[in-house]
Amino acid sequence: MQELVRLVRKYRVTSGRKFDLADFDPADTNGLDADFKDDAQALLREGIERLGELQEKLYAQDRWSVLLIFQAMDAAGKDSTIKHVMSGVNPQGCQVFSFKTPSEEELDHDYLWRTTKRLPERGRIGIFNRSYYEEVLVVRVHEEILAGQRIPPALVTADVWEERYEDINAFERYLSRNGTVVRKFYLHMSREEQKKRFLQRIEEPAKRWKFAAGDVAERAHWDRYMKAYEKMIRHTASGHAPWHVVPADNKWYTRLIVAGVIVDTLRDLDLHFPKFDARKRKELEAAREALMSEKGR
């Protein structure tokens, strides 16, 4: 597991000043080939077990909360990654929320409102499957969406994207200063791999429900999306809320890296079970004696 933790830092982006998406290979497996998949499964199981142990301490300590944000193109594997990596976590300590097209109620508020309502409580891990980052991704690619957001026209200027980056950075700084640890994942998939997965969804009955015709239409905007992702990471990567550009062409490797990042994050929090003072220990001893003195039960 220690080796995995060292490996995941290769994909961490804490400053966007020199960030270039072309430097990250969607098919990267760090030299590991398909023959390693069985070993990767064993390592993933180890990571999931360790994650479960750390999550229990996080919940018991009730001081920190952790927010995991997943962004990606369609079919990059967000759902399956969350499902596999978080499989060993107590459901009471983990909350998953997906954010799709805003509702009428959500459009009557600022764009951070709907996600702010879903922030994790202390002691819990919150997962955003898509997030407020859609506001500088799909909305940037399809700028006509801005017209339907009911923002006063005078506020929608040429600086709107830079202003949103600024607001998001301030928001994440605020969260970090109040005990919410933010970790962000961009699952980086190639256009060729997306085509392959879309075809699988069409051809395999068990996967057809996942397919939507609009997904293919969005492929026409692939280059614009890549530029939007690059600008997003470049402007919002920070030490307190880093991005992780995770290769997503090989799902077994994606899951391994994401698990490693989460374990690494929780380990850095120095989590432990609550410690009892002399008064509490006296209460426990009295309770133990009372239980031991019971007869015939």
3-state secondary structure of 191: helix
DSSP 91: G
Q: How many Å apart are CA 77 and CA 249, to the nearest integer?
A: 9
Buried residues in 90-103 as b, exposed as e (16+ CB within 10 A): eeebbbbbebeebe
Q: Are 24 and 189 a contacting pair, CB within 8 Å?
A: no
pTM above 0.85, yes or no: yes
Q: How many Å apart are CA 72 and CA 225, to the nearest integer?
A: 10
The two most distant CA atoms of the chain are separated, in Å, by 79
Catalogue all structural domains in the chain, each as residue range(s) with its CATH number: 2-292 (3.40.50.300)
Rg (CA), the chain: 22
Angle, CA 134 vertex, CA 236 and CA 162 arms, to 5°: 45
Q: What is the pLDDT along the chain (297 residues), one digit of tens a residue?
A: 666 677 788 899 999 888 999 999 999 998 877 667 777 888 888 899 999 999 999 999 999 999 999 999 999 999 999 999 999 999 889 999 999 999 999 999 999 999 999 999 999 999 999 999 999 999 999 999 998 899 999 999 999 999 999 999 999 999 999 999 999 999 999 999 999 999 999 998 878 888 887 888 999 999 999 999 999 999 999 999 999 999 999 999 999 999 999 999 999 998 999 887 788 888 888 888 888 888 765
Burial (Cβ within 10 Å: 0-12, 13-18, ≥19) of residue 122: middle
Give the sign of the dihedral formed by CA 265, CA 268, CA 269, CA 270.
Answer: positive
Nearest 10 degrees: CA dihedral of 128, 96, 75, 29? 80
Q: How many Å apart are CA 296 and CA 193, to the nearest integer?
A: 67
